[in-house]
Amino acid sequence: MDFRLIVVCLLFWFAPAWADTMDRLDNINTLLYEYPSRALEEINKLDNISSPIKLSETEKLRLSLLRCETYLQLGENQAAINIARMSEAKAKVLQLESARPYFLNCMAGAFTNFGDYRQALPLLDNSIELSRELKQGQSLINGLRIRGIIDTQIDSYGNASEDLRLAIDIFPEIANQALNWSWPPLAHVRLSLSQLLAKRGEFKQAYTVIENALSSKPLNGKVKALVITQLAKMAQLNNLPTSDTLILNAKNQLPELGSAFELAQSYTQMAQLEFLRGNLRRAIQLLEISLNTFKKENKSLEIIRTQRQLAEVLLAHGTTDKALALMENTIALAVRTSRYDELVICYQILSQHYEKNENYKLALKYQIMRFNQAENAYNFIKDTRLLQLNTKLSRQNQLFKSETDRSIASVNQGFGVKSGYLILLTLLFLALLFSFITFKTKQQAKRIISVPEPNTKEQEIERLLSNSKLGGFPLSLILINTLQVYRDDLPVLNAQLEKLLREQDVMLNYSDEEIVLLLPYTKEKGTLKVIEQIKELMTPLLHEKKCQIGYSKMQQQDSLSSLVKRANIQQLRHSKQHKVAAE
């Protein structure tokens, strides 16, 4: 009887202590996104040997995760990678599978901060798959958020929007998770969605999303500073009268930041706002302070971005020699680190500068260099996506093989040798089922055009691209430059093109000077024939000027924007070859 009483007393004593520790860890999770320096101090206190609080192995692992996420907020990316690798291995040893996707996310976040998407994307795919299998909503939300940020950077806007909106939709499910590990605040996810919408040019929607992030829950520290800065930027781009007040509020949040790295990041954001407002001197001062900090901490990617931004402001300020020297240094650093996306922006800035100064020869030179780097960036991402697909297929094949081996072993164990006939019949049934599914998929691909038309042309194009990928049929894009056609003749050209196209083809006025044609079930040979027919149509409308047409073929990871980019590159190369041949 006495022993039972002792056990009951211990239970009553341990339960509040365990709950108190978990609450403290939950508070650290909130604190690391608001005041990461303070969060690190709390983590060190709990991790100290002399700490009166003795943690279980699960709590120690969670504390390591919170340390990893804190390092990310402080810009200590290599330290985050190291602790994530060790802790993920420890989770395997302790058989705490539910912890693994969180450390994969932390590792992927560090590689994303380095700009190394090739290593980050496979980690995120594994993390998201594990999160779904193990029903870890917190890690699923963070994985979707990070992948959405990467897709935004590489102009894969459809995928980014899907991931970020899904993360927002499932956010309330965090409360139902049995054991808390780590999760980002909802404002962080909405911030990423607002940045995506802004990059797409949808400034009104971006403002609405970030305004909801600010009003949905009281924010503090770094999170509040990031959200208010984005809100001020969107107000400025939407020409709202509240933009000056919001910019002042954003500046008032700067003292809340606890490290030089965080402050430098915020200064670069402030500099963008000052640049938009025309306060060039203030923008230059902020960027120079940020650049000094990044150089001291040896943050190569931040150095490239800040130098490029500073060079752009200096060009606008009229300090041309200093700006060009700085841009040359930035380009050399970007080439050395294979930052193709940054090279694209650098060459675009230089091209616009020389065009503004009527030096069209240099403007064309840098525009061609920009297109070459855009192609390099596309090929880099394409290779990364293929690596992802191969990794995923390899994993699925391994799972299928192990499942098959287990099934056969269990059948042999239960039924013996005579069950061979049963296995053969089962395999035959599976083969027939696979053939039926394949047949239905092909039939569905053939009937794609019979599906009712979507509400908008953009939805129709998205459906056409996705069906092309699912059905595996070829799709080509033709890009027609109408700059040489008189505006009064454009309706005539559109009418003639509509007569030329088939019922399933899609025509879109991509911009004021470009028409896009999407041709499903069309290979390169057929595309070239259509181009020749278009040239015949356009010749009377060009008044002896050259016809500018480019084309591209659909690949698995393509979006409309990437197809148009490659068509632009092909058109430019074709024009350059003709020019060289003429000379």
Q: Can you tell me the distance from the alpha carbon of 72 to that of 149, in angstroms, rounded to the nearest whole number?
A: 15
Which residue numbers in the chain have pLDDT < 50?
Answer: 1, 3-19, 411, 415-418, 445-455
Q: Quick: pLDDT tens for 362-392.
A: 988 988 888 888 777 777 776 766 766 676 6
Write down the residue that tokens 């933009």 correspond to.
243
Angle, helices 260-277 vs 300-317, to 10°: value is 30
Q: What is the pLDDT of residue 583?
A: 61
Angle, helices 560-582 vs 360-415, to 10°: value is 130
Q: Can you tell me the distance from the alpha carbon of 395 to that of 223, in angstroms, rounded to the nearest whole number?
A: 37
pTM of the entire predicted model: 0.67
**Number of C-beta neighbours around residue 556 at 10 A:** 11
Q: Quick: pLDDT tens for 79-101.
A: 999 999 999 999 999 999 999 99
- Answer whether 505's CB lies under 8 Å from 519's CB: yes
Q: Can you tell me the distance from the alpha carbon of 574 to that of 247, in angstroms, rounded to the nearest whole number?
A: 47
Q: What is the pLDDT of residue 447?
A: 42
Q: What is the pLDDT of residue 207?
A: 93
Three-class secondary structure of residue 552 per DSSP: strand
How far is C-alpha 312 from the geometric centre of its chain's CA atoms?
A: 25
Q: Can you tell me the distance from the alpha carbon of 5 to that of 20, in angstroms, rounded to the nearest whole number?
A: 23
Q: The tokens of 465 are what? A: 């691209």
Q: What is the pLDDT of residue 300?
A: 87
In one-letter notation, the amino acid at residue 155 is D
Residues whose CB falls within 8 Å of the CB of residue 171, separated by 6 or more in sequence, listed in order: 141, 186, 189
Taking alpha carbons only, the member of 396, 419, 395 closest to residue 408 is 419
Q: The tokens of 436 are what? A: 């039926």
- Answer whether 159's CB lies under 8 Å from 117's CB: no
Q: What is the pLDDT of residue 49?
A: 63
What's 501's DSSP letter? S
- C-alpha angle 360-363-369 in degrees, rounded to nearest 5: 145
Angle, helices 280-296 vs 300-317, to 10°: value is 160
Q: Can you tell me the distance from the alpha carbon of 473 to that of 510, in angstroms, rounded to the nearest whole number?
A: 24
Taking alpha carbons only, the member of 531, 523, 518 closest to residue 460 is 518
Task: Classify strands 548-553 and 514-520 as parallel, antiparallel or unpaired.
Answer: unpaired
Q: Can you tell me the distance from the alpha carbon of 373 to that of 334, in angstroms, rounded to the nearest whole number?
A: 11
Domain 461-582, CATH number (from 3.60.15.10, 3.40.718.10, 3.40.30.10, 3.30.70.270): 3.30.70.270
Residues whose CB falls within 8 Å of the CB of residue 522, separated by 6 or more in sequence, listed in order: 474, 475, 476, 530
Q: What is the pLDDT of residue 417?
A: 44
Which percentage of the chain shows pLDDT scores above 70? 82
194-201 long-range Cβ contacts below 8 angstroms, 24+ apart: 194/230, 194/234, 195/149, 195/152, 195/230, 196/148, 196/152, 196/157, 196/160, 196/161, 196/164, 198/233, 198/234, 198/237, 199/152, 199/157, 200/157
Domain covering 24-174, topology: 1.25.40
- Answer whether 45's CB lies under 8 Å from 8's CB: no
Q: What is the pLDDT of residue 388?
A: 65
Q: What is the pLDDT of residue 495?
A: 85
Q: What is the pLDDT of residue 18?
A: 44
Taking alpha carbons only, the member of 82, 140, 137, 90 closest to residue 111 is 82
Q: The tokens of 180 are what? A: 């808390």
How far is C-alpha 345 from the geometric centre of its chain's CA atoms?
A: 17
Q: What is the pLDDT of residue 144?
A: 95
Q: Can you tell me the distance from the alpha carbon of 368 to that of 348, in angstroms, rounded to the nearest whole number?
A: 10
Residue 553 parent element (H or E): strand 548-553
Q: What is the pLDDT of residue 422?
A: 61
Structural domain boundaries of the chain?
24-174, 461-582
Q: What is the pLDDT of residue 10?
A: 45
- Answer whether 191's CB lies under 8 Å from 219's CB: no
- Answer whether 502's CB lies under 8 Å from 520's CB: no
β partners of residue 519: 476
